[in-house]
Amino acid sequence: MICSESQRLNSLVTNLLAVTKVDSGEVQLSKEDYPLDEIIGSAVSAINPPPTEGRLEVRLGNNYAEISVDEPLIQQAFLNLFENAIKHTPDNSKIEVTATIDDTEVIVSVKDNGPGVADREKCKIFEKFHRGPHALSGGSGLGLAIAKGIVQAHGGKIWVEDAPKGG
């Protein structure tokens, strides 16, 4: 109990520091070339508590190319996306992570079977401290805001889409 509360508080402080840097424009990128599969693998390994066996399916195909990123920051963005999907998806549901790379862009997709995001929530989902009405577990409402700031600092875009039956 004390250990899990300590981890929760550490995560909250880390997220508050990250969102402060993002908000102030102080995100200093230190880009190097890293293999995409290793970045995603490291983010999956950092999920705490780890997802149950088979819950998170990562499909990279032949996408082992290196991408120029600030590895710790982009790993944090992926971790936040994965943890958000876990929090908002029923325990028995699978979450799929896919990645594609072409000459001009990298697309990482996180697909879950959660309740989906209402149209009126889509414009708010990446705002700091926003928690959707279908949250299945606790959270600070900072993870997606941090992910957005990191992705934008890298010149990327982040968005949410609903599958026809939710997720």
Kind of pairing between the strands at 56-59 and 95-101: parallel
Q: Are 40 and 78 in contact (CB under 8 A)?
A: yes
| Alpha carbon distance 20, 125 (integer Å) | 18
**Residues 143-166: pLDDT tens digits?**
898 899 899 989 999 999 887 666
pLDDT of residue 110: 94
- Looking at the domain that runs over 2-153, which CATH code has it been given? 3.30.565.10
Who's near 137: CB < 8 A, 6+ residues apart?
87
Three-class SS state of 109: strand
Who's near 71: CB < 8 A, 6+ residues apart?
32, 34, 39
**Residues 73-123: pLDDT tens digits?**
999 999 999 998 998 888 888 999 999 887 788 999 999 887 788 888 888
- Give the total residue count for the chain: 167
The answer on pLDDT for 21 being more than 90 is no
The answer on pLDDT for 137 being more than 70 is no
**Domain locations in the chain as residue ranges:** 2-153
